């Protein structure tokens, strides 16, 4: 069974569109994260939720809006997509909000044309 | 600001040799460090971690060394195998809930 899963795996879309990425974890963890990995493989935290509550909100354009309907799910909605949004987006989860051992999903490869 | 960096962007080793991947960090308040392995097309995978009250921790074929005096972290892989080819990241945490990742080192294992 996949521990942290994301859908879709690939997403190709036009500039200006709105899209969502979904994440689910079946590890029973309390905390979930969204990371962005650029073309140089640099991983940067975007958001984190602990028990459905936002605890980390890095300097991210407000076109990005995370939503956590329950502690096993964390979705990411992106409005008005821009070319610079092209990246791989990873979801992760950890047992607690301390953020130590995090388990990553397989990633969503977003390409904005 | 504080950052976590790696000395070498690419490391090539012969199969069977030992690999050493280095990481420098600048935040003296960091109290937790972790290494991840990312294979092509996959998400980062936990390898090993260490807290600042330790100097060394061993896992299966991997050892992490922490030198707090010079703010240096290393990952040693014994008897490197082709399956070890990947990008390796170090990350650190200085309180709070956030891991800060380094820029990654590509490990290439030559047959």
Q: Given the DSSP bridges, would you call strands A87-94 and B105-110 parallel, antiparallel or unpaired?
A: unpaired
Residues of chain A in contact with residue B32, where contact means CB-CB under 8 angstroms, are 100
Please, are residues A35 and A25 in contact by the beta-carbon 8 Å criterion?
A: no
Give the pLDDT mean for A9-27.
97
Residue B44 burial class via C-beta count within 10 angstroms: exposed 0-12, middle 13-18, buried 19 and up: buried
* Chain A residues lying within 8 Å of B96, measured CB to CB: 99
pLDDT at B26: 84
pLDDT tens across B17-67, in order?
999 999 999 888 999 999 999 999 999 999 999 999 999 999 999 999 999
pLDDT in tens, A31-71: 999 999 998 889 999 999 999 899 988 888 999 999 999 99
Nearest chain A CA: its distance from B44 CA (Å) = 6
Q: Which tokens belong to A51? A: 């028990």
Q: How far is C-alpha A45 from the geometric centre of its chain's CA atoms? A: 9
Å between A92 CA and nearest CA of chain B: 9
Q: What is the mean pLDDT of residues B70-82?
A: 96
Tell me which of A32-36, B82-86, B102-106 is least confident.
B102-106
B36 close to B52: Cβ distance less than 8 angstroms: no
Read out DSSP for A39-96?
A: TT--EEEEEEEETTEEEEE-S--TTEEEEEEETTEEEEEE-S--GGG-EEEEEEEESS
Burial class (CB in 10 A: 0-12, 13-18, 19+), A67: middle
Question: Mutating which of A30, A41, A106 best tests the B interface, going by the most B Cβ atoms within 10 A?
Answer: A41
């Amino acid at each position: 069974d996949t521990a942290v899963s994301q859908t879709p795996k690939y997403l190709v879309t036009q500039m200006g569109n709105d899209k969502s990425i979904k994440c689910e974890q079946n590890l029973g963890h309390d905390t979930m994260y969204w990371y962005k990995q650029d073309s140089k493989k640099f991983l940067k935290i975007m958001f984190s939720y602990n028990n459905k509550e936002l605890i980390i909100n890095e300097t991210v354009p407000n076109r990005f809006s995370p939503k956590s309907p329950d502690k096993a799910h964390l979705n990411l909605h992106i409005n008005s997509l821009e070319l610079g949004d092209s990246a791989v987006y990873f979801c992760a989860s950890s047992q607690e909000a301390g953020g130590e051992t995090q388990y990553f999903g397989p990633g969503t490869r977003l390409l904005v044309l | 600001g504080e950052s976590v960096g790696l000395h070498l962007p690419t490391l090539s080793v012969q199969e069977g040799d030992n690999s050493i991947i280095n990481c420098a960090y600048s935040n003296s308040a960091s109290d937790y460090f972790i290494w991840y392995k990312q294979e092509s097309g996959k998400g980062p995978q936990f390898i090993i971690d260490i807290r600042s009250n330790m100097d060394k921790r061993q896992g299966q074929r991997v050892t992490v060394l922490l030198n707090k005096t010079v703010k240096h972290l290393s990952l040693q892989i014994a008897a490197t195998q082709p399956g070890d080819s990947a990008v390796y990241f170090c990350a650190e945490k200085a309180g709070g809930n956030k891991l800060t990742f380094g820029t990654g080192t590509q490990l290439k294992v030559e047959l």
